[in-house]
Amino acid sequence: MTKAKEKPPVEKGENLAFQAEVAKLLDIVVHSLYSNREIFLRELISNASDACDKLRYAALTQPSLTDGSAYEIHIAPDAKAKTLTVRDNGIGMSHDELVANLGTIAKSGTADFLKGLSGDAAKDVSQIGKFGVGFYSAFMVADKVSVTSKKAGETQGWLWESDGRGTFSVSPTEDAARGTRIVLHLKDDATEFADPTSLRRIVRTYSDHIALPVILDPAPGAETKEEGETPEAPKEETLNSASALWMRPKNEITAEQYKEFYHHVGHAFDEPWHTLHYRAEGAVEYTALLFIPSQKPFDLFHPERKGQVKLYVNRVFISDTLEGMMPRYLRFVRGVVDSPDLPLNISREILQDNPLLKKIQSGIVQRLVKDLKKRAESAEDYAKFWDTFGAVFKEGLYEDFERREELLDLARFTSTHGDGLVSLKDYASRMKEGQDAIYYITGDNAAALKASPQLEGFLAKGIEVLLLTDPIDEFWVPSVGVYDKKPLRSVGESGADLSGIKGGDQKEEEPLGAAAETAVKDLIEKLKKTLGEAVADVKSSTRLTGSPVCLVADSGGMSLHLARLLKQHGEGPAGAAVRKVLEINPKHDVIKKLMAVGGEAFDDVAFLLLDQARIVEGETVPDPAAFARRMSTVMAKGLI
């Protein structure tokens, strides 16, 4: 984050350029975001409400920051001047905060997110929806925005102004009260936002749940309406219910109100996939209103991403980044938790370790798990959740030891059994006679995995294999190890012996016969000698049916997929440390013929087989020139 450095107060104004990311965002906001422009007001009211929450919290320890007056948000339209003003008496912003907050984007992962935008307006707009433009959405309706702000406890106020085209100015002003006043100079096609009737509707639609009063100031000149027109009441008018939504009884809250609250609290734009609202009594009392989004937040996998559940103590906002509020594997959950039992006057750091907070967390997770179980009854519905957050949820399989069994039951996988998602329970119920393990294969994508030679023998026997394609799978599987007393076993490990498992319409496997056994042994010795250091071992295998060879990891060693993942991140052991085993299919024609070949031709074919196995496994061929030469030699012979 590029926070402005401390500098002496600026006497005169200064002109500054927006951070490149902001300029790009503004360009999209101004030129492409037309649908649903009215949400800018929700964003500004949301910020105003957060600013009041922050001051209320700060004033707990520093009462002199406020004069004790009530927190309020005012919106004041002026149709004549074509302006709309949104004002709060919250914490305000200092000079440096104005520059940092309204000139840069501090969200971690922003740069990466914006880099990923395609330049195609339609696509980018939907992406931006996931990201949330916050304050900058003001430029959808205004061609100039003036922000006057005075930080609580400071004497100097500041005026920030911009037309959203690359630069902004900041100058000192005497005309500032504590808090923030935002004046939108409305575009010609946005004058509806200076109309009290529109504003009433917009605030009721999007911001009814805001816990502070949102007050419509009388429009200037409203008293002097012409005869026959209904005069606008020349008094302040509170537009929203102004009570904390989470404290209201469930049956008084509509789905629409829940959704808008979710948009506010989660800085989100999608529909919640799940809403959980309940009050807990007993060892610790609290109210929770939680949401599982339907869309992946842009920074879900960003290492710095924190939980997004806001903690309130008796309706006083405490923190939205409290470690320990939510386990990491539920970091996509958003919402509010409010408990009167937590102490108000202690620091966030101390609160973090409060045993009551742990109890609350445990209660929340239990409820969420219970709800997920219920929703998992509809496979189609649950798949939506799983496709979006499954990869994160699986972190819980090794992080949340206590709930491992429950979480395992909630996990879903793609497998060789059809196209849908399967649970471990489904898998276990289909296991073949003589099968004692749950088989899985790890890799980058399911389609490639399905075609892997490592699976051939399993497919032939109709043995189901789980196709694990999330990087996280490499970590939870070894740590979990078993499900319902059945070990999880990688098909990519050498030594997979399927001979004891009945299934498929494969004929009884014919034994090779003593002579052939000896020939295979000799061949293996020869291959080992030829391939030398390139492989850790060469083995005969029953897993292969159509392919002559495949590459597997030495049993007990790191999987080839994990080794590749680590390498991509510049970590992990050098290639040689991962022990790769070449498995051969003694019934394949190439292998049979190879037994009769000697000399250089043998060497060429041996290395070609190894390279072929590497390619199928998703690896690169270490010496492409040698590969091409051998290939040509062998082809030339074959073409005679």
Q: Provide the binding-site residues for ligand ADP, judged by CB under 6 A.
A: 43, 47-48, 51, 88, 90-93, 101, 132, 134-136, 180, 267
Do 369 and 406 touch, CB atoms closer than 8 A?
yes
Do 257 and 205 touch, CB atoms closer than 8 A?
no
Closer residue to ligand ADP in complex, CB, 86/365: 86
SS (H, E, C) 203-271: HHHHCCCCCCCEEECCCCCHHHCCCCCCCCCCCCEECCCCCCHHHCCHHHCCHHHHHHHHHHHHCCCCC
Query: 622: which residues sit within 8 A by CB, 6+ positions away?
Result: 614
Closer residue to ligand ADP in complex, CB, 89/452: 89
| DSSP string of 35-75, one letter each residue | TTTTHHHHHHHHHHHHHHHHHHHHHHH-GGG--SPPP-EEE
Question: Half-sphere exposure of residue 50, counting CA atoms within 13 Å on the CB side?
Answer: 16
Nearest to 432 by CA among 501, 362, 329, 490: 501
Nearest to 527 by CA among 585, 454, 456: 585
| DSSP class of 135 | G
Backbone angles phi, psi at 421, to 5 degrees: -90, 145
Closer residue to ligand ADP in complex, CB, 55/581: 55
Closer residue to ligand ADP in complex, CB, 135/301: 135
Closer residue to ligand ADP in complex, CB, 91/253: 91
Closer residue to ligand ADP in complex, CB, 47/207: 47
* Two tokens, residue 477: 């599987």
Query: 451: which residues sit within 8 A by CB, 6+ positions away?
Result: none
Strands (E) across 69-164 are located at 73-78, 83-88, 142-150, 157-162
CB-nearest residue to ligand ADP: 134
- Residue that is written with structure tokens 């319409």 in the block: 505
In a 10 Å sphere around its CB, with 0-12 CB exposed, 13-18 middle and 19+ buried, how is residue 524 labelled? middle
Strands (E) across 574-624 are located at 580-584
C-alpha to C-alpha distance for 91 and 180, rounded to whole angstroms: 8
For the bound state, the minimum distance from the C-beta of residue 370 to ligand ADP, rounded and expressed in Å, comes to 31
Closer residue to ligand ADP in complex, CB, 267/331: 267
C-alpha to C-alpha distance for 217 and 238, rounded to whole angstroms: 9
* Two tokens, residue 9: 């107060």
| DSSP class of 493 | B
For the bound state, the minimum distance from the C-beta of residue 92 to ligand ADP, rounded and expressed in Å, comes to 6
- Residues present in the chain in total: 640
For the bound state, the minimum distance from the C-beta of residue 107 to ligand ADP, rounded and expressed in Å, comes to 7
Closer residue to ligand ADP in complex, CB, 139/329: 139
For the bound state, the minimum distance from the C-beta of residue 178 to ligand ADP, rounded and expressed in Å, comes to 10
C-alpha to C-alpha distance for 264 and 555, rounded to whole angstroms: 51
For the bound state, the minimum distance from the C-beta of residue 388 to ligand ADP, rounded and expressed in Å, comes to 21
Closer residue to ligand ADP in complex, CB, 317/427: 317
Query: 632: which residues sit within 8 A by CB, 6+ positions away?
Result: none
For the bound state, the minimum distance from the C-beta of residue 14 to ligand ADP, rounded and expressed in Å, comes to 19
Coil, strand, or helix at residue 344?
Answer: coil
For the bound state, the minimum distance from the C-beta of residue 422 to ligand ADP, rounded and expressed in Å, comes to 39
Closer residue to ligand ADP in complex, CB, 136/440: 136
For the bound state, the minimum distance from the C-beta of residue 267 to ligand ADP, rounded and expressed in Å, comes to 5
For the bound state, the minimum distance from the C-beta of residue 87 to ligand ADP, rounded and expressed in Å, comes to 9
For the bound state, the minimum distance from the C-beta of residue 136 to ligand ADP, rounded and expressed in Å, comes to 6
For the bound state, the minimum distance from the C-beta of residue 199 to ligand ADP, rounded and expressed in Å, comes to 17
Amino acid code (one letter) for 31? H
For the bound state, the minimum distance from the C-beta of residue 385 to ligand ADP, rounded and expressed in Å, comes to 25
Closer residue to ligand ADP in complex, CB, 88/270: 88
For the bound state, the minimum distance from the C-beta of residue 116 to ligand ADP, rounded and expressed in Å, comes to 19
Closer residue to ligand ADP in complex, CB, 263/267: 267
C-alpha to C-alpha distance for 301 and 63, rounded to whole angstroms: 39
Nearest to 15 by CA among 170, 143, 153: 170
Closer residue to ligand ADP in complex, CB, 104/361: 104
